[in-house]
Amino acid sequence: MARDHEPALTHVHSSKEKRRLSLLWCILEIEMMALLNASDWDRTKAGMLLQRAGFGGTPDEVDALAKLSPAEAAESLLGTAKFLASDPPSFLGEMNIKDLTQEERAKMSSLSEEGKQKAKREFAQYARATQSRQLTELRGWWLKQMADPARAAREKLTLFLHGHFATSFEKVRSPYLLYQQNNLFREKGYGSWSDLVLGVAQDPAMLIYLDGTLSRAEAPNENFARELFELFLLGEGNYTEKDIQESARAFTGWTVSSGSGKKGGLQFGSRPSFKNVSKWHDSGSKTIFGSTGNFDGTDVVRLALAQEASARWITQKLWRFYAGWSPPEPLLQELVREWKSLEGQIRPFLMAMWTNPNFYDPARAADRVKSPTEWLVGLCRQIDRPLPAPALSSHILSQLGQILFEPPNVKGWDGGIAWINTASITRRYEYGSWLVEGTQGLQKLGTLNMVRVAAESGAMAVAPPEISPEGMVVSHSAKDMAPAERQAATEKMRATLSISPAPITAIATAEERQSPEKLLAALSTRFLPGETISDDLRKRFQEAAGDKVPLTDAAIRKMILSIVQSPLYQVT
């Protein structure tokens, strides 16, 4: 991917002019790096790109991409480089929990010791329930962004960054801060890698998650520096313990302000932001990666990104996430050269990656296992139906092994074949049936705790605890509701979670209904672009179709399920 020569800039005296020419050269280079010839571009590759760069789509969307050149198709999916904000989750407009309960908390002083302990438990339970509801809304909000075709590529990158810079609600305990970090990925994801990494290093959620908030000169915390090198930037073996220790000193003083806002839904009140406390910083000399100076956290990021391992680490992770397989050494070297020539600009690198012929290697087409999130959003897009209610979507993803905003650890999800085991594949088939055939009178939702789900979804409004004039702690949790009120909320939730059968009108034409063979071809094009249908899958498809024509909606749904419930669909 490397260029053979660069334009001479020695005669250009204006730094502005140099930057302009450099940008023009990068644009020219991207055109040169679009090595996949237009003659090699076809509908199969367009379908692969739509699935890998986004979350799949309809045959019409595949056809539209197939009519473009490879570079035009990649550019079309990437969308504008400028970030276009969408309406935020509604919970961001709520009063924070501390302010909401302040008046009642002030009454605690009049309680007995036993009463105070009970009140604290009730306020803590209310805070957890509120945050659980907000987190459910946040997950639903993000899934909705993913399902928007115009935002799919940026959201796919945001999903990668969420796994790469893994941060969990389990420790952060703030839906607001997780939204803020999620938006950081979205806003900076198309720009400079160095700017993004620095933003993450100063992100309140990350500082809390990796214990950076209390790092002082007299007691530097090594957690963030260690994970920055091992998981985020370099990989094991490309740094020393001394580099970690000295970098931890450099990061001291980077913390989170307490904030004083009236909104945010935080358990303890506010909307914290990054804060650099100079008196907490170790201002002594430090030696990191062989360089010595009075370094701070910004310098650590700069020095780490200058290491040879840095470009190798991020390019192979991006390639593996999008293509599904690790690049062999010659290809990795090519990717590294391209990354360096683009000075770590992420959007043009994605462009170069998606127009590289190796990205469409037919021998590796089935190597990429769909993550649960890709599977859910992609299937709903392909059968032209909205996503399930946020609470149900969260439940499905949890059962399939991917809880958004709660990765298993700082390493994130392993991905690949780790997504598939006996239990998860069985559940994929079951939930695929829900999405295609509907929940049939809610019998399939019988395992859900409707009261808990209703509270998480806001269908069962829960007020904060109160302290009565008599000194009694009055709880308003779901368990304290009157039976009739609980029943009404439960029924409302059942109606919300119910999934109707997938619409068939846009999937099968009248002509295809007359011929199972023609319908098989159409459905294969929709769900398995470019794949060869095995004899076993063809047999299952024909059994689902039956002998009667024209094919009914119910028969067509069973035919769709024969594809969705096949191993091939999980990797296509």
**What pLDDT sits at residue 237?**
96
Last residue of a domain, one of 324, 343, 364: 364
- pLDDT, average across residues 173-181: 95
Residue 85's CB is within 10 A of a number of other CB atoms, namely 8
Cβ density class 371-392: b for 16+ within 10 Å, e for less: bbbbbbbbbbbbbebebbbbbb
- pLDDT, average across residues 289-301: 98
pLDDT band at 175 (very low <50, low <70, confident <90, very high): very high
* 4 within domain boundaries: no
pLDDT band at 262 (very low <50, low <70, confident <90, very high): very low
- pLDDT, average across residues 64-71: 96
Residues 382 and 472 both lie in one domain: yes
* 9 within domain boundaries: no
* 40 within domain boundaries: yes
Residues 259 and 382 both lie in one domain: no
Residues 220 and 266 both lie in one domain: yes
Last residue of a domain, one of 503, 538, 556: 503
Residues 128 and 168 both lie in one domain: no
Structure token digits, residue 304: 């780490």
pLDDT in tens, 555-568: 999 999 999 999 99
Of the two residues 451 and 96, the one the predictor is more confident about is: 96
Residue of 238, 240, 234, 197 lying closest to 222 (CA atoms): 240
If DSSP states are collapsed to H, E and C, what string results for 124-177?
Answer: HHHHHHHHHHHHHHHHHHHHHHHHCCCCHHHHHHHHHHHHHCCCCHHHHCCHHH
- pLDDT, average across residues 151-155: 97
pLDDT in tens, 27-59: 444 444 447 899 999 999 999 999 999 999 999
What is the pTM for the complete model shown? Answer: 0.90
Contacts of 305 (CB under 8 A, 6+ apart): 193, 194, 197, 233, 344
Euclidean distance between the first and final Cα of the chain, in Å? 27
**What pLDDT sits at residue 365?**
81
* 215 within domain boundaries: yes
* 28 within domain boundaries: yes
User: Residue 266: pLDDT above 50?
Assistant: no
User: Residue 485: pLDDT above 80?
Assistant: no
* 203 within domain boundaries: yes
Q: Where are the beta strands (DSSP E) in 371-439?
A: none
Residues 192 and 295 both lie in one domain: yes
**What pLDDT sits at residue 489?**
76
pLDDT in tens, 427-447: 999 999 999 999 875 566 766
* 1 within domain boundaries: no
Q: What are phi and psi of 265, to 5 degrees?
A: 70, 30
* 389 within domain boundaries: yes
- pLDDT, average across residues 523-542: 87
pLDDT in tens, 136-152: 999 999 999 999 999 99
Residues 98 and 175 both lie in one domain: no
pLDDT in tens, 301-344: 999 999 999 999 999 999 999 999 999 999 999 999 999 999 99
- pLDDT, average across residues 500-524: 93
Residues 544 and 483 both lie in one domain: no
Q: Is 397 exposed, middle or buried (0-12, 13-18, 19+ CB in 10 A)?
A: buried
**What pLDDT sits at residue 446?**
67
Q: Are 248 and 216 a contacting pair, CB within 8 Å?
A: no
Residues 376 and 437 both lie in one domain: yes
Residues 514 and 537 both lie in one domain: yes
pLDDT band at 5 (very low <50, low <70, confident <90, very high): very low
User: Residue 20: pLDDT above 70?
Assistant: no
Residue 446's CB is within 10 A of a number of other CB atoms, namely 8
User: Residue 221: pLDDT above 50?
Assistant: yes
Q: What's the structural domain count of the chain?
A: 4
- pLDDT, average across residues 437-462: 74
C-alpha to C-alpha distance for 73 and 78, rounded to whole angstroms: 9
**What pLDDT sits at residue 443?**
66
* Domain enclosing residue 175, as ranges: 151-306
Q: What are phi and psi of 364, to 5 degrees?
A: -115, 15
Last residue of a domain, one of 487, 503, 519: 503
C-alpha to C-alpha distance for 317 and 223, rounded to whole angstroms: 22
Mean pLDDT, all residues of the chain: 88
Residues 389 and 461 both lie in one domain: yes
